Amino acid sequence: MPEKYKTPKIISIANQKGGVGKTTTAINLGASLALVGKKTILVDFDPQGNASTGLGVDPSRRKVTMYDVLVEGAAFSSCLVETGIDNLFLAPSTTDLSSADVDLVGDRGRITRLKQSISDFCDKNYDIDYIIIDCPPSLNLLTLNALAASHSVLVPLQCEFFALEGLSQLMLTVRQVRDSINQRLVFEGIVLTMHDKRNNLSGQVESDVRENLGALVYKTVVPRNVRLSEAPSFGLPGILYDKSSRGSIAYRRLAAEFIRREQSKKPSKPLELKDNE
């Protein structure tokens, strides 16, 4: 009897505070992992659909979306589209997803719908190393679904005065999810973003965060970088839009540091996408 394949690692990128580089981190970490041969799915779980746009997936290609998966019960595999980057697939989103809270209000299993959908997908043993979920900037039903489905949480933390505000609430939410519906959930780590070395405050925030959270904080720090901000308007990750920019270099280093923390994965069944399978 063949050995059971290991399931992909599922990571939620979450922070209820907006504008901290969450989607930028999801896109560029996902793309960086893909470029070194890691089969990766980026789940756009934000109704704004910024991750989908940032990877150049036009709305006309989003025929089946995460709304269909979460609310209508469509197969997770049916919404996956190719991104133009080898090894990187996207589960797209549209504004339809914003009504999920209302549409699922009467469903007792509403918090675990994403978990079940991804679990059904993983049971097919597709050749996927990572599933990265880009959460919305709030602790709503969508974020709870992502946490329930994930192995770990990666938190982008902006290097500004209020950086630690709200982190305690996120940590409490993670603890509650772990205690109630997902015992495997842990913190993957904290990524410091939008760091400005010319600003003394950025350095002070970094020192405070490292002092309080220790090894949980990644050594790699992502700088404030205009090229990263420009990249989504061209439908490209920053690491491809300008490979030599400081932001691009930082995200490649982050991916390398991320991989060093990981154990090796076993190969499994190749994922072959059909048009809206």
Domain that holds residue 63: 9-258
DSSP assignment string, 152-195: EEEEEEESSTTTTTTHHHHHHHHHHHHHHT-TT-EEEEEEEEEE
Q: Which residues contact 157 (CB under 8 A, 6 or more apart)?
A: 15, 20, 163, 164, 167, 190, 191, 192, 193, 209
100: domain CATH number is 3.40.50.300
- For CA atoms 180, 185, 189, 192, the dihedral sign is negative
Cα dihedral angle (156, 265, 53, 123), rounded to 10 degrees?
-120
Q: Which residues contact 28 (CB under 8 A, 6 or more apart)?
A: 228, 237, 238, 239, 247, 248, 251, 254
pLDDT at 274: 52
270 in a domain, yes or no?
no
pLDDT at 276: 44
Short-list 184, 258, 142, 256, CA closest to 7: 184
Beta bridge partners of 189: 154
Beta bridge partners of 89: 41, 82
pLDDT at 175: 92
271 in a domain, yes or no?
no
3 in a domain, yes or no?
no
| 10-residue mean pLDDT series, the chain (277 residues) | 63 93 97 96 97 95 96 96 96 96 92 96 88 95 97 92 80 92 94 86 86 92 94 96 96 95 57 52
With contact defined as beta carbons under 8 Å apart, do 164 and 148 qualify? no
The two tokens of residue 236 are 């490209």
69 in a domain, yes or no?
yes
74 in a domain, yes or no?
yes
231 in a domain, yes or no?
yes
Amino acid at 99: S
Q: How many helices (H) and strands (E) does the chain have?
A: 11, 8
pTM, 2 dp: 0.91
Main-chain phi, psi angles of 88, to 5 degrees? -115, 120
Number of domains in the chain: 1
Kindly give the interhelix angle for 246-260 and 22-35, rounded to the nearest 10 degrees: 70
pLDDT at 20: 92
Short-list 91, 80, 100, CA closest to 141: 100
53 in a domain, yes or no?
yes
Instruction: Give residue for tokens 């760091």.
Output: 195
With contact defined as beta carbons under 8 Å apart, do 114 and 140 qualify? no
Q: How far apart are CA 250 and CA 231, in angstroms?
A: 15
119 in a domain, yes or no?
yes
